[in-house]
Amino acid sequence: MKLGDRAPWIIRTYAGFGDAEATNARFRQNLDKGQRGLSVAFDLPTQNGYDSDHTMAAGEVGGTGVAVCSIADMEALFAGIDLASINTSMTINATAPWHFALYLVLAERRGVPWTALRGTTQNDLMKEFVARGTYVFDPDTSLRLSTDLIAFATEHAPQWNPMNACGYHYMESGASPVEEVGMAMGNAMLVLDAIRPKLTPEGFADVVRRMSFFINSGIELVQEVAKVRAYSKLWRLIAAEEYGITDAVFRAGCQVRSLTLTAQSPEVNIVRIAYEALPVVLSASARVGALQLPGFREALSLPDEAEQTLALRTQQVLMYETDLAAHGDIFEGSFVIERLTSEILDGARSLATSLRQLGYGPAISRVTEALTGGLLRWKTAVERGDVVQVGVNAFRAPVDLIRGAANAPRGEAPDPEAHLIRLRNHRAFRDHGAVASALLELDAAFRSGESVMPATLALARAGGTTGEWTRCIEATVGGRYAASLGVEGAAQIALDVPKAPRRLRVVLGKSGLDGHVNAVTLIAVALARSGMEVIYTGIKQPPEALVEAAIQEDADIIGISSLSGAHLHIARATIELLRARGAGDIPVVMGGILPDEDLPRLRELGVAATFTPGRESMADIVNTLVALAPPRSTEAPKSVG
C-alpha cells in the first residue's frame, strides 16, 4: 500500500498525562509522527466529576490522564490543533455531556462549525457499572444523561459518534466472545429503546446509523476474527429487523486486550500486541474504523513517548508494509470462520435479547454476575496452567532483549500546580452571574425532564467547571451512586484456596478514584471462600472511610486496592489515621499497579505487604493475610478513640 492511498482505518494512541499543555505536546508529537486521530485519556478526578482542587482529587490530578475542569483547560488541550481536520475520541462517560459541551464551545470560539466535528464520546455507562467504575449517578439518571447527549449530537453534530457501546470492558472482565458481543448489543438496544420515544422517526433512524461500538481483540486469532465478523453481521441484522434501518454500517473502534499483557517479561507484550491487532483489520467486511494499541508495559504503568511511538509504528507496519488492506474479505467462504461466526452470532443474539427484556438496571446486575464468574474461571485456569501465558506460567526465562529500556526510570509524578493556578484564575475572572444563571438553568432542565444539553452548553460558555456541573445534578438525585461488588453468583465456581485457621475480618476497599473492580472481586471471593469475613467498603473510598470501617468492624486487616497512581498518598494517609485513632496495630496491605521502585517506600510507610499483578496467586494472598493477622485476645475488643 502506498503512503498516499486512503488509510483503511484511523491510527490512534491513547494519550493524556499531567496538565493540558503536556498532553497537547504529546498530541502534536503523535500527529507529526503520522497519527491521524486523537484519543483523550482524562484523569480520574475529571472522569468522576471532581474539580482538581477537590479533596477527593488529592494525589490523582493528572496521574492517569489529563485534568479538564473548564473551557480554559480544553483550549490549552487542543492549542494549535485544527478541530476540523482530526478525529477526536474522548474516553469519558459519567460527565460525557459536560465534556462534549466544552468541545463544542471550543469549536464555536474557533469558528469551526459543529457539523465539521468528527470523533466519539464513549458515553457508555453500563460498562462503568459492571467493570470500570467511573459512574457518578444511578443507572436511571445515567441512562437519561447518555440519551440526552446522543439526541443532541445526532441533530447538531451529525458526523460525531455520540456513544460507543463498549464490548471491550466486558472481555477485560472475563467475558467470552459470545458474552462480549451479546452484552454490547444488548446495551445498544437498551439505549436505543430508551431514546426512541424522544425523537421523530427520522431522528431516531439517524441515531441508529450513528451508533458505534468499542470492541476488544484478544490473542486467539481465529476466534477473534470470527467475533468481529459476528459483531458486524449481528448489528446489521438488529438494525434492520428491530428498527427498520437497512443501511446501517458496523462502525467500531478497538483497543487490543490489556488483560493478556503481563508485568513479567514485558518485551513479550510487543509480540502479543501485534498479533492482537490482526483480527480487527484482517477481515475487510468487518474491519474497525479506528485502532489504538497500548504500550507494552501497560501492566506496570502508563506508556511513555517511546512506547507510544512503538505502538504507532506497529500499526504503520500493518497498514503500509503488509498487503492486508489491498484485498477484499479473505475469509469469505471459509468453513471454519463461517461456522465460528454463526455460533458467536447466535449465542450473542440470544444474550442481547434477554438483557433487553430485563431492562437497563436489572441487566446491569445480570452482566455483573456473569463477568464475576468468567473472571474467576480465567484466573483459576491461568493459576492451574490450563491456559498458557508465556513468561508467567510457562517459558519463564527472561528475554533481556531490551531490559534497559523496559526498566528505565518512568519520571516523577505530575506536578498539578500550574493546572491548579489556571483553575483558580479561571474561577476568579469569569462572569459569576452568568455561571449562577446557567446552573439554575441546568437544575431546572434536569428537574423538568428536558434535555440537559442546552443548559450544559450555557454553563460551558459561562465558564462553569466539571465539579459544578456534577454537583448540580448530584443535588437533584440525592448524591453519588454506589454499586455492589456483584459476587453473589460466584459461589458455584471451584476455587482452590487454603482455609483460614479462624474467621479473620478483612476490611476491603478501593481507595483513590479508579473504579476497576476485577482484582477486588477476585480477592473478595477468594477470602470469603477461605473462611474469612469480608467487609467490602466500596470503590473510591477515602482513607478516612477505610479507617472508620476497620475500627467500627473491629477488623483484623485492611486490604486496599489502588490502580490510580495515588498509592503513596493513600498509604501514608491511612496509616497516619490508624495511628491517630489508636489502631496502629491493624496491618494494612495494598495491591494493584504498584511500581517496583515504590514498594520499598510503601514498606517504610508501614504497609505490611504488597501484591502486584501476576506475581501472587490467590492462595498466596490468603496465606499472607493469615500470617499477618495479629492473634485475637479472648478479652473484649480494644477501645479506640
SS3 sequence, 11-48?
Answer: EECEECCECHHHHHHHHHHHHHCCCCEEEECECHHHHC
Angstrom distance (rounded) from CA 332 to CA 484: 44
Q: In the prediction, which pLDDT does 407 show?
A: 45
Query: Cβ(171)–Cβ(374) under 8 Å?
Result: no
Q: Is the pLDDT of residue 337 over 90?
A: yes
Reading the block at residue 306, the C-alpha cell is: 517511546
Query: Domain segments of the chain: what residues?
Result: 9-162+414-486, 163-358, 495-628
Higher per-residue pLDDT: 640 or 237: 237
N- to C-terminal Cα distance for the chain? 72
Sheet of 557-562, strand order: 533-541, 505-511, 557-562, 588-592, 609-611
Angstrom distance (rounded) from CA 39 to CA 16: 8
- The mean-pLDDT minimum among 108-117, 319-328, 399-408, 608-617 falls in 399-408
Q: In the prediction, which pLDDT does 381 show?
A: 84
Predicted TM-score (pTM) of this structure: 0.90
Reading the block at residue 354, the C-alpha cell is: 434477554
Beta partners for residue 121, in sequence order: 90
Q: In the prediction, which pLDDT does 326 show?
A: 84
- The mean-pLDDT minimum among 294-308, 435-449, 563-577 falls in 294-308
Beta strands in 495-618 (DSSP E): 505-511, 533-541, 557-562, 588-592, 609-611
Q: Is the pLDDT of residue 485 over 80?
A: no
pLDDT (average), residues 370-394: 83
What's 198-215 look like in SS3? HCCHHHHHHHHHHCEEEE
In sequence order, which residues have a C-beta less than 8 Å from that of residue 420 and are 6 or more positions away? 52, 53, 61
Phi, psi of 638, rounded to the nearest 5 degrees: -60, 150
Confidence band of 629 (pLDDT split at 50, 70, 90): confident
Which CATH number fits the domain 163-358, given the four candidates 1.10.10.10, 3.30.70.2740, 3.20.20.240, 3.40.50.720?
Answer: 3.20.20.240
* Domain 9-162+414-486 CATH assignment equals 3.40.50.2300: no
Hey, what CATH topology would domain 495-628 get?
Rossmann fold (3.40.50)
In the chain, the percentage of residues whose pLDDT exceeds 90 is 62
Reading the block at residue 460, the C-alpha cell is: 460551558
pLDDT (average), residues 531-547: 90
What are the helix (H) ranges across 157-277? Answer: 168-172, 177-195, 201-210, 221-243, 268-277
Angstrom distance (rounded) from CA 283 to CA 334: 12
Q: Is the pLDDT of residue 405 over 90?
A: no
Tell me the pLDDT of the chain averaged across its residues: 89
Angstrom distance (rounded) from CA 322 to CA 190: 40
Q: In the prediction, which pLDDT does 630 show?
A: 85
Q: What is the per-residue pLDDT across 169-191, written as a single tens digit (0 to 9) for each?
A: 999 988 999 999 999 999 999 99
Beta strands in 457-511 (DSSP E): 505-511
**The residue to which cell 478526578 is assigned:** 45
- The mean-pLDDT minimum among 65-74, 470-479, 621-630, 631-640 falls in 631-640
**The residue to which cell 434536569 is assigned:** 446
Output the CA–CA distances (angstroms, integers) from residue 319 to 77, 118, 429, in the order listed: 29, 22, 48
Output the CA–CA distances (angstroms, integers) from residue 586 to 183, 509, 558, 568, in the order listed: 41, 15, 7, 18
Q: Does the fold of domain 495-628 match that of domain 9-162+414-486?
A: no
User: Maximum distance among all alpha carbons in the chain?
Assistant: 79
Q: What angle do CA 220, 285, 241 make, to 5 degrees?
A: 105
Reading the block at residue 435, the C-alpha cell is: 455561571
Angstrom distance (rounded) from CA 407 to CA 459: 45
Angstrom distance (rounded) from CA 518 to CA 179: 17
Q: What is the per-residue pLDDT across 469-481, written as a single tens digit (0 to 9) for each?
A: 999 999 999 899 9
Phi, psi of 291, rounded to the nearest 5 degrees: -135, 135
Q: In the prediction, which pLDDT does 105 show?
A: 98
pLDDT (average), residues 55-74: 92
Output the CA–CA distances (angstroms, integers) from residue 613 to 322, 430, 506, 590, 618, in the order listed: 34, 45, 20, 12, 11
Q: What is the per-residue pLDDT across 79-94, written as a single tens digit (0 to 9) for each?
A: 999 999 999 999 999 9
- Spacing of C-alpha 239 from chain mean position: 27
pLDDT (average), residues 380-408: 72
